[in-house]
Structure 1
């Protein structure tokens, strides 16, 4: 790896670690970029290039992961779960869950009880795929070889 790629890799690794460690306290794009000695737009572009998602999307994913841990390990009401996950309100928790998991926090907390998941196999340019969905959208997609389909 050339020197600039090594520097960029280290910056993004540090940024990801920082975001993971600060899941309970909000950080703005400007704060994180300053910590990496970059402008917000430079940081956004570099992060997206290296991580494959924007910093905002990454924060959404880790916020939902954190909320799932809180829901799994507690009897907190959804308002407190939202607060402990850096989300502004239960509506935000609900919206993120539906957007990312394709189920509500309540459905997740109830282990998908009474949740109907449909699935089908299909062909793609990259091989056979298994697609699963709820009435809210696709919740699972994977590639499957012919042996798995038998």
Structure 2
């Protein structure tokens, strides 16, 4: 079950903090969890054990400022919330520093309720986009991406080989089988493939199988054994060994760890 997203308001002025919280609670109508803290220190302590998807913070507070709070979050936390800065000071250096830290909006006090809600809605859209991009990045193999980007430069034989691998990945394919299909000497095909893709035939097919396995792990409830079979491995143990060599963890751990991250976001 997808968890409710959390918006954290950090503001040392009680009336402003309460005003922001009430406005957001009324707008949210239970769709989001609204939390509020009266200092950067309190926010940091809360963030040690909780996740905020959107951070709304005053820029000037006693102790830890809003910018310092964002900077600390980005430096030490794996999950980084999007942020909106609230300030009573229209000073360029603050806005400039905020932009460098990836702050998505900068609002000046007194903040109009409608502008606050509008800024929050825009920030949550940015947060959604970042999450989608992060999920896609987990499913991308940079080396394979390079081969796709330069495939127009390949000879017809190599392009045909790559197409054949895409379509027959679930089968126990050998390099000799592909070379025979292309009417090429296996040794010559091996050199040609490596020269053009910058990957050996064995590494290419292993990376492609791991990529497909990652997609199936995240998008289906198939068992590891069923996934191994679907990506062309006859042995579960060998599949797990290859997967670990590329991802640094077992397929089961990859699935549980990635889904836990998605649940938190």
- Shorter-chain TM-score category? 0.5 to 0.7
Stretches of structure 1 that go unaligned for 5 or more consecutive residues are 1-5, 115-150
**Mapped partners of 1:50, 1:63: distance in 2:** 20
Matched with 1:23 is 169
User: Secondary structure in 2 aligned to 1:111?
Assistant: helix
What SS is found at the alignment partner of 2:184?
coil
Are 2:252 and 1:106 aligned? yes
State the partner residue of 2:219: 73
SS at the partner of 1:46? helix
RMSD over aligned CA atoms reads 2.4
Return the match for 1:40 from 180, 183, 186: 186
- Aligned partner of residue 155 in structure 2, secondary structure: helix
Relative to total residues, which structure has the larger helix share, 1 or 2? 2
Q: Distance in 1 between matches of 2:257 and 2:158?
A: 34
> Cα–Cα, structure 1 residues 8 and 37, in superposed 2: closer, same or farther, change >3 Å?
farther
Q: What TM-score, normalized by structure 1, do the two folds share?
A: 0.66
Equivalent positions of 1:1-150 (< 5 A) are: 9-112=155-258
| Per-residue deviation, residues 49-89 of structure 1 (Å, max 9, x unmatched) | 11111111111011111111221222122111111111122
| Structure of larger gyration radius | 2
Question: Which blocks of at least 5 consecutive residues in structure 2 are unaligned?
Answer: 1-151, 261-265
Q: Distance in 2 between matches of 1:88 and 1:26?
A: 8
CA contact (8 A) 2:172 2:233 kept: no
CA distance in 2, matches of 1:110, 1:77: 12
- TM-score norm. by structure 2 comes to 0.38
